[in-house]
Amino acid sequence: MIAAPGGAISFARDDDQRQKERELVRAAQAGNVAAFERLYRENVKRVYALCYRMSGGAQLAEELTQDVFVRAWQKLAGFRGDSAFSSWLHPIAINVAYSERRSRGRREARVSTHDDLTPFEAEANPRRPHDALGVDLERAIQGLPEGAREVFVLHDVEGFKHEEIAEHCGIAVGTSKAQLHRARRLLREALQR
C-alpha cells in the first residue's frame, strides 16, 4: 500500500504483483514449465513450513512439499484465479499431509498397536537464551504426539475451526478440542523446562 496525495491509499503494488502472478499462472496452464518453476520458488517456503509443522520432520516435509507441487501441476488447469495462487495451494498442502498421515496410520496399525498416547519427550534446557525461545517452540511443537501436533498446527497456527479440523481428520469436534488442550498443556510444560 502506498499513500497517495490527499490521503487516498493506492494498492498499485499489490495489483502489480497479483497481475504478474496471474500471468505466470496462465503461462503455466499453457504448459510453460519455467512459469510454474517461478510459482514454485515464490511459494515453496510457505508450503514447506506447513508440511513441516504437519508432519513433524524435515525429510517427510520435503517429500510432502514435492507432492503438493506435483498435485498443483496436475490440477493447475482447474485454477480459476479467484484467489491468490498461495491460497489455492494451502488446501492442497493440507490434503497431501492428511493423506500421508492416513496412509502412515494404516501402515502402522498393521505393524503395531501403539497410538497417539506416547509420552511427550523434549530436551530440557533451563539456561536457554531468550532468543532461542522460537527455536525451542518449534522443537516443542515437533515433539508433540502426532494428533495433538496436527490439531495445534491447524487451529492455532493455520486458523482452522474445530469443526473443519474434525471433518478433515475424521475425528469428533470434542476430540479436536481435547487434542488442542493437550497440545497447549504439553507445550507449556516443555517451554517451562
Calculate the average pLDDT of the chain: 80
Confidence of residue 82 (pLDDT cuts 50, 70, 90): confident
Given this model, what pLDDT does residue 169 score?
80
Give yes or no for a contact between 148 and 186, defined as CB atoms under 8 angstroms apart: yes
Residue by residue, DSSP assigns 61-122 as HHHHHHHHHHHHHHHGGG--SSS-HHHHHHHHHHHHHHHHHHHHHHHHHHH----TTPPP--
Given this model, what pLDDT does residue 113 score?
43
In the predicted model, is pLDDT for residue 39 greater than 90? Answer: yes
Give yes or no for a contact between 169 and 176, defined as CB atoms under 8 angstroms apart: yes
Domains of the chain and any CATH numbers: 8-114 (1.10.1740.10), 122-193 (1.10.10.10)
Instruction: Give residue 33's identity as a one-letter amino acid code.
Output: V
Give yes or no for a contact between 85 and 79, defined as CB atoms under 8 angstroms apart: yes
What is the value of pTM for the model shown? 0.61
Question: In the block, which residue shows the cell 507449556?
Answer: 188
In the numeric block, which cell numbers belong to residue 27? 503461462
Given this model, what pLDDT does residue 48 score?
95
Given this model, what pLDDT does residue 40 score?
96
Strand partners, 9: 3
**∠ CA 140-67-36, rounded to 5°:** 115
Average pLDDT over residues 99-119: 58
